[in-house]
């Protein structure tokens, strides 16, 4: 395996292997000195054309914990501002000798283009509304740590701005691969025109689902991707689809609440629920580092040992 561009690059066995390896790396991250020499000498570049807090820092932390050398590219202070295009930028970076490039871009398919231009391993860190495979992996790892390695039959609802969400696309496919059952919940204007081929049920009615769910996964309204106003108002959205304290009280006592971040507190999720005992939001972030260590190790594995 050279690149990770889509969650579908991993079949069910690959997924299980990646999640088990992530658990091993989670133990490494819990040590006093959470660092192993496994990828010493490898060079990893984070190439982010779109804003990020957790994915970027998580990848850079993961690479450092594997003893890689890490280079960080920021569009704002690069020659992109002098008109340099994506292809010239990545070929310039590749000419310095890099082993992996972690790409986030607002255009769907940008990481695939990058992969066709250079020899380094390419990891998709979120491309437009298309995919965010390491987010799906860290979500599956988080569920697995709560519910055990058999996630089949788990009832999951993904709620919110599905049409713009790369998180939803990757997660739906990942959940399907492990045998979980997903329902998408959104106003009609925030669903894709066609859901043909998506292994999901769909409803506009969150309230009727609440008592049956094992996992409630909230998405942010992607205001930066809204071409036309798809919502009457955020207040109305919260009233029908937000996880308010009152709605949370109608969940089963063991329903897990997840969100990829960043959150709009008070819009898709109440602050009290985000901080509450059912929330896995901080664990998702912690698990992200271990997952990204596993991905880098799998793609760049030098034959060194994990421990």
Query: Which residues are at the interface with ligand ASP (CB under 6 A)?
Result: 126, 132, 166-167, 220, 222, 260-262
Residues 116-135 contacting ligand CP, CB under 6 A: 126, 135
Active site (annotated) includes residue 104: yes
Site string for ligand CP, 134-153 (x = CB under 6 A): -x------------------
Q: Which does 53 bind (CB under 5 to 8 A by kind): ligand ASP, ligand CP, none?
A: ligand CP
Q: Which of 53/189 has CB closer to ligand CP?
A: 53
Q: Which position among 17, 29, 54, 145 bears the catalytic label? A: 54
Active site (annotated) includes residue 132: yes
Q: Which position among 42, 55, 65, 182 bears the catalytic label? A: 55
Q: Which position among 56, 65, 104, 144 bears the catalytic label? A: 104
Interaction of residue 74 with ligand CP, rule CB under 6 A: no
Residue 278 is classified by DSSP as T
Give residue number: closest CB to ligand ASP: 220
Interaction of residue 53 with ligand CP, rule CB under 6 A: yes
Q: How many alpha carbons fall within 13 Å on the CB side of residue 138?
A: 31
Within a 10 A sphere around the Cβ of 106, how many other Cβ atoms?
Answer: 14
Number of residues that bind ligand CP (CB under 6 A): 9
Q: Which of 66/136 has CB closer to ligand ASP?
A: 136
Q: Which neighbouring-strand residues pair with 79?
A: none
Active site (annotated) includes residue 29: no
Residue 297 is classified by DSSP as H
Active site (annotated) includes residue 169: no
Residue tagged 């999640």 (tokens): 19
Asked if residues 50 and 106 have their Cβ atoms less than 8 Å apart, the reply is: yes
Interaction of residue 54 with ligand CP, rule CB under 6 A: yes
Of 62-70, 108-116, 239-247, 260-268, the window that binds ligand CP (rule: CB under 6 A) is 260-268
CA 46 to chain centre: 16
Of 16-24, 73-81, 243-251, 254-262, the window that binds ligand CP (rule: CB under 6 A) is 254-262
Active site (annotated) includes residue 55: yes
Asked if residues 44 and 68 have their Cβ atoms less than 8 Å apart, the reply is: yes
Residue 49 CB, nearest approach to ligand CP (Å)? 12
Site string for ligand CP, 213-252 (x = CB under 6 A): ----------------------------------------
Residue 237: strand, helix, or coil: helix
Distance CA 57, CA 154 (A): 30
Distance CA 119, CA 2 (A): 9
Residue 96 is classified by DSSP as T
Q: Where does residue 95 rank: exposed (0-12), middle (13-18), buried (19+ CB within 10 A)?
A: exposed
- Kindly tell me the sign of the dihedral angle through the C-alpha atoms of 118, 123, 125, 129: positive
Nearest to 122 by CA among 132, 109, 112, 108: 112
Q: Catalogue the active-site residues.
A: 54-55, 82, 104, 132
Contacts with ligand CP by CB under 6 A lie at: 52-55, 126, 135, 260-262
């Amino acid at each position: 395996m050279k690149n990770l561009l889509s969650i579908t690059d991993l079949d069910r066995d690959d997924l299980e292997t990646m999640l088990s390896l992530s658990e091993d790396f989670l133990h490494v991250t819990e040590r006093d000195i959470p660092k192993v020499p496994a990828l010493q000498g490898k060079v990893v570049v984070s190439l982010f054309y779109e804003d990020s807090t957790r994915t970027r820092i998580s990848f850079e932390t993961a690479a450092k914990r594997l003893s890689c050398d890490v280079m960080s590219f920021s569009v704002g202070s690069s020659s992109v501002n002098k008109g340099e295009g994506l292809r010239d930028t990545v070929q310039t970076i590749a000419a310095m000798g890099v082993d992996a490039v972690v790409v986030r871009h607002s255009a769907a398919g940008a990481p695939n283009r990058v992969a066709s231009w250079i020899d380094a391993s390419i990891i998709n860190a979120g491309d437009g509304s298309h995919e965010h495979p390491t987010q799906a992996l860290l979500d599956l790892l988080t569920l697995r740590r709560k519910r055990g390695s058999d996630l089949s039959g788990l009832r999951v609802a993904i709620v919110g701005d599905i049409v713009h969400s790369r998180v939803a696309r990757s997660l739906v496919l990942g959940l399907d691969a492990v045998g979980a059952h997903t329902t998408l919940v959104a106003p009609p204007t925030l669903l894709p025109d066609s859901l043909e081929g998506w292994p999901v049920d769909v409803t506009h009615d969150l309230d009727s689902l609440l008592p049956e769910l094992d996992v409630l996964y909230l998405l942010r309204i992607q205001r930066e991707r809204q071409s036309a106003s798809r919502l009457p108002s955020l207040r109305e959205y919260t009233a029908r689809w937000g996880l308010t304290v009152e709605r949370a009280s109608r969940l089963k006592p063991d329903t897990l609440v997840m969100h990829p971040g960043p959150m709009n507190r008070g819009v898709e999720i109440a602050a009290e629920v985000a901080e509450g005992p059912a929330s896995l939001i901080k664990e998702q972030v912690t698990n992200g580092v271990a997952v990204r260590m596993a991905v880098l190790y799998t793609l760049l594995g030098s034959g060194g040992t994990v421990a």
